Amino acid sequence: MASSQGKNELRFADWMAALPDSIHGTPLTNLAIPGSHDSFSFYIDEASPVGPEQPETVQNFVSVFGTVAKKLMRKWLATQTMNFTSQLGAGIRYFDLRISTKPRDPDNELYFAHGLFSAKVKEGLEEINAFLADHPKEVVFLDFNHFYGMQKYHHEKLVQMLKDTYGNKMCPAIFAHEVSLQYLWEKEHQVLVFYHSPVALEVPFLWPGQMMPAPWANTTDPEKLIQFLQASITERRKKGSFFISQVVLTPKASTVVKGVASGLRETITERNVNWEHGSLFCDEWRGVYDTVKTP
């Protein structure tokens, strides 16, 4: 007998293809599309070096306490419990991606990173592509929004990697309101790549980062978060671009200190499960949040 998770994955793996005909021509900016925060963080490697974006205090903490410090860090850095394939099967279509070089890496690879290093970018892109090959009517949004330790040739390497992996599956940057499922299916496009770097202006299939803004509440208070989300949605309706509605509670430094050994899930998730909108936050802290696209 299939598990409940397996049934859900079967149900949501082709949810775009299953939408009613009346929605096929609707601009994707008018749809709410589920996404994940630090989408790659399931793969975070405790044995990796600390990421170059981390402050000196964190670097010093790890240099003193070593592996123990990294294990504690992972509890706060991993916002995902599912790999890319499982997220896609569960219906996730937006991916928050942060890219870094690794210090003293002889292979000069590119990695996903959030405090510690995660999977190689090439492997992650190929995993997503394998899903798309099996589900030709599903569309993903890849949001490359942070780059660490990257020079021009690293960006060139990443652009070539995208070409080699997705080829004509990538939709060139056009007016956002022109992009619908019907349009993408006719063109056989399945991937929209948003790239928060001036490099996007030089490559036709890269959508400039400003076409996918992500206003951030930066709060641990659920009520303040809801107020912020309502205000930002109202404001973004006027802009005509895609945008992210980050249903994300952000722990403060004091929160981490108080719960340093317990981690993100126990310190933040459990506290909000019985809140008025608890089910929403329980889902979020498994890594899922709504990526709302509105005109």
Reported as half-sphere exposure (CB side, CA atoms, 13 A), residue 141 has a value of 32
Burial class (CB in 10 A: 0-12, 13-18, 19+), 242: buried
Backbone angles phi, psi at 185, to 5 degrees: -65, -40
Residues 213, 276, 96, CA angle at the centre, nearest 5°?
A: 25
The rounded distance, in Å, linking the Cα atoms of 162 and 125 is 8
The two structure tokens encoding residue 240: 């005509």
Which member of 24, 37, 177, 196 is catalytic?
37
**Could you confirm whether 114 is annotated as catalytic?**
yes
The rounded distance, in Å, linking the Cα atoms of 88 and 57 is 36
The two structure tokens encoding residue 50: 């600390």
CB atoms within 10 A of CB 136: 12
The rounded distance, in Å, linking the Cα atoms of 242 and 239 is 9
Amino acid at 187: K
Which member of 24, 114, 154, 196 is catalytic?
114
**Could you confirm whether 146 is annotated as catalytic?**
no
Burial class (CB in 10 A: 0-12, 13-18, 19+), 77: buried
The rounded distance, in Å, linking the Cα atoms of 258 and 268 is 11
| Cα separations in angstroms, 114 against 118, 119, 204, 227 | 8, 11, 28, 27
Please identify every residue annotated as catalytic. Answer: 37, 114
